[in-house]
Amino acid sequence: MQAFEGAIGQEDGRLDLGVHAEFPVAPQLVKDEEAPATILHIWDERRRTFDMGFVSDEHRALAAWPGFYEEYWRALKELLRSPLYTDCQFRIGESAGSLA
């Protein structure tokens, strides 16, 4: 609310310009036929958890690093079980409904 009422903080005069990332090569996407059993198990869990019929390209790209992806999924599952996640999800839905 304070940000809408007036300027806050101190301006130091420096401006850091962001640099747009360039990706000259598309990420490698793991196909179902090439995925190890652990990755296929994660994808099945993900489909059931989110009630989705597909695996997104983001998850197919992350699966190129199976060790990292398994840890990522383990951490994400814990967050999804949190009551805070459920509350946030509900509030976002309520906000979207009221804005529509």
Which CATH number does the domain housing residue 90 bear? 1.20.1290.10
Q: How far apart are CA 85 and CA 49, in angstroms?
A: 14
Terminal Cα distance for the chain, rounded = 23
- At 29, give phi and psi (nearest 5°): -100, 130
- Residue 61 confidence (pLDDT): 95
Closest CA to 59 of 41, 81, 85: 41
User: Tens of pLDDT along 63-88?
Assistant: 999 999 999 999 999 988 888 888 99
The count of domains in the chain is 1
8 inside domain = no
55 inside domain = yes
| Domain assignment of residue 69, given as a range | 26-99
Q: Taking 70 as the threshold, does the pLDDT of residue 2 lie above it?
A: no
pLDDT over 70 percentage in the chain: 88
Q: How far apart are CA 6 and CA 1, in angstroms?
A: 9
Q: At what angle are helices 83-99 and 66-81 packed, to 10 degrees? A: 80
